[in-house]
Amino acid sequence: MGVHSSLPVFNNVLSPKKRCAFYLFSVLAVIMQIKKSVITKISLISIIPAWLLISLFEASTFILIDPKPVIYRAWETASNIEGKDAYRTPFKPHFKYNFLAHGDSINMLHFKPNPNELRKQIFTVDEYGFRNRVGLLNNPVDAVIFGTSQVAGANETQPNLVSELLTDKYNTPTYNHGLLPLQRFWENEWFMKHPPKYVIVLGTEKEVQESSWIETLAENQAPDYNPKTWSSLEEWQQENLPNSNFGLNKIMIYNYDQITSLFKNYSVTRYLINKLHTEILNKLFTREQLAKIYNNTELDYDPSQDMIFYQPKEGNPTLTEKSQQDIKNSMTVLKQTRDLLKKRGITLIVAAVPTKAHLYYQAYQNIPESQQSLNVLEQELGVNEIEHIKFHAILHKEAAKTNEPLLYYREDSHWSARTNQIVAKLLAEKIKQLSQSTSN
């Protein structure tokens, strides 16, 4: 899980040869110091200053270099995990990111990303802390999308998000409210005053079945919430970080060990050593061999497709007793949601996308349609008169096209830009159909 980096600041200071020589000299100096200490049997006390200097250098590289050479993903960099308003906004307001990224599974198996697995990622957060362009809510929007990281776009660039495609390509201004659940919608005064025409629940079939997009539907328990707007990222940082209970002072005092670990894991030297380690491993072993060496219970690598599956058992599309109960529970929640939204003049649309395992995992390719839980889910949505899109047949047909990009990235657990384009097109058609029927 990481982001490819070219160490932009060092590129402006040292030439590639000088930079490599500098780090090689640093590593050799450390090795020589250790060997010298062992050979001459210098006491432990004499090694401590050298260790402190190395630690100081590693820490300083993290502090002084910006942007950081190693980032977990744009997602984690943007996440509002330390702010006091984190319960209400998933990201830091006015945050901007523009870099290369690869999938969230590749590092766990020590795979070196191929050139086609490095994708440009633009990540923009609005003044409220959601992944939209700044100023989108200056005017009422037609639709609001809810969902998990699939909606908020954990590994997708901004122009490829469903919300952006609906807004720009299909002239349907759409607000991306991922990653927070629908309960935040009930609390939001802005949407009370300016209700959208449509609320879209978008996720994988499992996410929709398990109602992972919601906390509670008790509307009378939700306090009114007037969302705060921020003029800049700096304003948010000043109010949220230095002087709050969740600020940097508390982190430094009570979580020194975590900060130290962060420095050690994400320093320049650590990054270069890890990169060299990965280069060597991928020269010596194939991906199939590495997948066996670094056996991970959460991942399954299919060499025939060069594809990594995250928790493939969780994506099993087979209808089971559990999935039947999940669908039953989900129908109860969705019907309540539909009725509550209808009171505000809002139409609910449900969009359940087949999982990556459902579309591509070899063990699940010959399951009869009658025994697939997504088919049952779509049937129940129809029986209960909940507006929805039947993705099962459409995306299976699209997945079979060998001359088109995949619907899920090979090395990532999230669906691809192509899937977003298909979803946006079908949602736009659905909204147009509903709009025409309302007019008639």
Is 9 part of a structural domain of the chain? no
Rounded to 10°, the helix 321-343/373-383 angle is 30
For the cut 50, the answer to whether the pLDDT of residue 5 exceeds it is no
Structural domain for 174, as ranges: 133-232+314-439
| DSSP H or E run through 383 | helix 373-383
| Average pLDDT value for residue range 231-236 | 86
* CATH number of the domain to which 213 belongs: 3.40.50.1110
- The mean pLDDT of 291-316, rounded to a whole number, is 91
How far is 352 from 378, CA to CA, in rounded Å? 8
Which spans in 158-293 are helix H?
A: 162-168, 183-187, 189-193, 205-209, 233-240, 248-254, 256-266, 268-284, 287-293
Q: 297: which DSSP letter?
A: T
Q: For residue 290, is it within any domain?
A: no
Any domain includes 79: no
Q: Is the pLDDT of residue 9 over 50?
A: no
- Residue 168, pLDDT above cutoff 50: yes
- How confident is the model over 351-365, as a mean pLDDT? 96
User: Distance between CA atoms of 155 and 101, rounded to whole angstroms?
Assistant: 7
Give a yes or no: residue 47 inside a domain.
no
Percentage of residues of the chain with pLDDT beyond 90: 51
**Residue 78, domain member (yes or no):** no
What 8-state DSSP symbol labels residue 131? S
Number of domains in the chain: 1
Q: Is residue 375 part of a domain?
A: yes
Residue 359 and residue 316 in contact, taking contact as beta carbons nearer than 8 Å: no
Out of 29-38, 111-120, 204-213, 221-230, least confident range = 29-38
Residue 39 — very low, low, confident or very high, per pLDDT cuts 50/70/90? very low
What's the mean pLDDT in 125-144?
A: 96
For range 48-75, the mean pLDDT: 67
Q: Closest Cα to residue 191, out of 156, 155, 142? A: 142
The pair of structure tokens assigned to 382 is 């129809």
Average pLDDT over residues 2-24: 43
Q: How far is CA 309 from CA 2, 277, 302, 385, in A?
A: 17, 24, 8, 34
Q: Is residue 43 part of a domain?
A: no
Q: Is residue 319 part of a domain?
A: yes
The larger pLDDT score, comparing residue 14 to residue 355, is at: 355
